[in-house]
A and B are shown apart, each in its own frame.
Chain A
Amino acid sequence: MDEPELLLDSNIRLWVVLPIVFITFLVGVIRHYVSILLQSDKKLTLEQVSDSQVLIRSRILRENGKYIPKQSFLMRKFYFNNQEDGFFKKTKRKVVPPSPMTDPSMLTDMMKGNVTNVLPMILIGGWINWTFSGFVTTKVPFPLTLRFKPMLQQGIELLSLDASWVSSASWYFLNVFGLRSMYSLILGQDNGADQSRIMQEQMSGAAMAMPADTNKAFKAEWEALELTDHQWALEGVEEELMSRELDLDGMFSKELPTGIF
């Protein structure tokens, strides 16, 4: 059976659809600037900086150790991995797991995150729902099952209405996610209004870098370095070099750059 197309009042387009877009966008921009204002400085301790650089150095040693002579490579490997006083064996960092309760700065960060992001969304979603309720706002271009009806048709009590017709609240949520790319266009990358990025960060942040990691990172590096062997990249370098003539083309060009420009 062909569903009869509903004809919506054009006033809806003028007074509902567009205002919701503007409201969402402006709220996003305000959120971005508020998050900048509330941003607390992340201060790194000397030890953290130092440790991260040591880890980088060890990784470079593993990857590019083949460019230095064997003796030098072994010297450095010994420095890191020696049984008694190798760096990775000897150094134990004090580990303070930053649970939200004990670490006050983490707590305030979480609170700020919540305030700037979740709270406005809930408030404005609710306000829009209350203001623009009781009518159908728009139609999503793909068919939906009946399951979506209570979710997307908040104020509309029509059992026979196709689930593709949605209320203003769902249009609002559609906007929140859809305007993400607009934000990156206007506010530049890394903006505070990017909702989903923040949620992603929250999820991955829980799984990742906490200071307990330093000791674990050291252990992982130690293992990796133990396994690394030295394959000198320069074994046959002369033969490779002399297999053909040097490419001296264009070495002596007649024009020398003079002056500044």
Chain B
Amino acid sequence: ELIDRCIGSKIWVIMKNDREFTGTLLGFDDFVNMVLEDVTEFETTPQGKKTTKLNQTLLNGNNICMLIPGSDGPDQ
């Protein structure tokens, strides 16, 4: 239900392995696999390397560590 409230708004997803994603949350499932839109991928290790992917992305919940709703990500 907590994640439910975030649907439609920006969310910052931190993975277990120095990778982060920000985007608009379209939906999720019981395993917390997440569907995001207008996604930006951040790889923290090389200090600020970014890859921007548009359209929709299904993020595997297996590697997700933390969710921060309403945030623009590490740039903020």
* A and B together in one complex: no
